[in-house]
Structure 1
Amino acid sequence: MTTLDPQVPASAGTQGADIVGVGIGDGPGPDVMAAATLDGNNVMSSDGEHVGKISDIMLDVRGGRIAYAVLSTGGFLGIGDTLHAIPWSALTLDTDDKCFVIDASADQIKNAPGFDKDNWPSMADMQWGTAVHEYYKRPPYWAATRDVVKERRLDTDL
């Protein structure tokens, strides 16, 4: 089975976002989508509150992985909002409600470490990234996918 096999749960052996719902339309998605189509998607907390919108999806360019989704909370028309790096694996794409659900309560998001649009952290800093992943109780994306990448290399060497 491949990772795109609909019989394999999205979380089986990967650190990607889970997908729920039956909302499958024409064209790409929901398994493979353009990152730009996810920008601006609403994000709901695990306790059902609207906590913000996806403002960016950050890629680990060298590793070929999604590193984080950036959640924009509060503010008005982008002024005074707080940004939060969210591990991709902490999100579930709900195709029925056309939103993401984060595996954290609204209070956890409110109290999460954040930053503003003019003072981004160094997202390649492993110490910073480890702290973010620990806050959301997720293994760091670079550690979680290391075995998958090694496995793929072995498969191609055969």
Structure 2
Amino acid sequence: MNYEERDPYGMYKINPISASESGVRQGPGPELMGANTLIGNDVYNQKDENLGDIKEIMLDVRSGRVSYAVLSFGGFLGMGEKLFAVPWTALSLDTVNKRFVLNVEKDRLKSAPGFDKDQWPNMADSSWVQSIHDYYGTKPYADDVRV
């Protein structure tokens, strides 16, 4: 499922009159997206392999930034699935196919640090944060918290 299919307010729809006059999509997106419409979006890698879907988006409420997308991978009908916190900066939006892309081999994701839906890690723990960013080759946001 993609963000256009889960758009309760019609914010991603193209207004035929406005689009033909200006040639530009009206409303937000893809630079500014509703978090609720991104939950459930598919995630693929650059080899066009399905890596799962986004189950949750984790916000750092102190800095006002998106920290992680929680990706579900594996299992069948919710049984045996593993969750992964993927740094938001490791994902890119494929606006043509309306899905996210994570530059990770499917086999590498199988061995990524993950967790069970009933045992979430302490995502505020600095060693956990560093280990996740190291795994995906990203850098944590600087500690420039707004006051």
Residue by residue, what CA displacement relative to the aligned partner does 1:2-28 show, whole Å, maximum 9, x if unpaired?
Answer: xxxxxxxxxxxxxxxxxxxxxx85422
Q: Give the number of the structure whose alpha-carbon radius of gyration is greater.
A: 2
Residue 51 of structure 1 aligns with which residue? 51
Moved runs in structure 1, 4+ residues, more than 2 A?
Answer: 24-27, 76-79
Alignment gaps of 5+ in structure 2:
1-23
Deviation at 1:48, TM superposition (A): 2.1
Equivalences for 1:116-131 in 2 at 5 Å? 116-131=116-131
2:132 counterpart SS class = helix
| Contact 1:46-1:106 at 8 Å conserved across structures | no
The answer to whether structure 1 residue 104 and structure 2 residue 142 are counterparts is: no
Deviation at 1:76, TM superposition (A): 2.3
Alignment gaps of 5+ in structure 1:
1-23, 154-158
Deviation at 1:107, TM superposition (A): 1.5
Residue 32 of structure 1 aligns with which residue? 32
Residue 70 of structure 1 aligns with which residue? 70
1:120 counterpart SS class = coil
Residue by residue, what CA displacement relative to the aligned partner does 1:46-100 show, whole Å, maximum 9, x if unpaired?
Answer: 3221010011000001111111000000122322210000011110100110110
**AA of the residue aligned to 1:114:** G
1:109 counterpart SS class = helix
For 2:78 and 2:59, locate their aligned partners in 1 and report how far apart those are by CA, in whole Å.
22
Residue 83 of structure 2 aligns with which residue? 83
2:84 counterpart SS class = strand
Kindly tell me the number of residue pairs found equivalent between the two proteins: 124
**AA of the residue aligned to 2:124:** A
Residue 92 of structure 1 aligns with which residue? 92
2:130 counterpart SS class = helix
| Contact 1:45-1:104 at 8 Å conserved across structures | yes
| Contact 1:47-1:106 at 8 Å conserved across structures | no
For 1:61 and 1:49, locate their aligned partners in 2 and report how far apart those are by CA, in whole Å.
33
| Contact 1:83-1:116 at 8 Å conserved across structures | yes
For 1:106 and 1:115, locate their aligned partners in 2 and report how far apart those are by CA, in whole Å.
17
Give % identity.
54
Equivalences for 1:142-157 in 2 at 5 Å? 143=142, 146=144
TM-score normalised to structure 1 length: 0.72
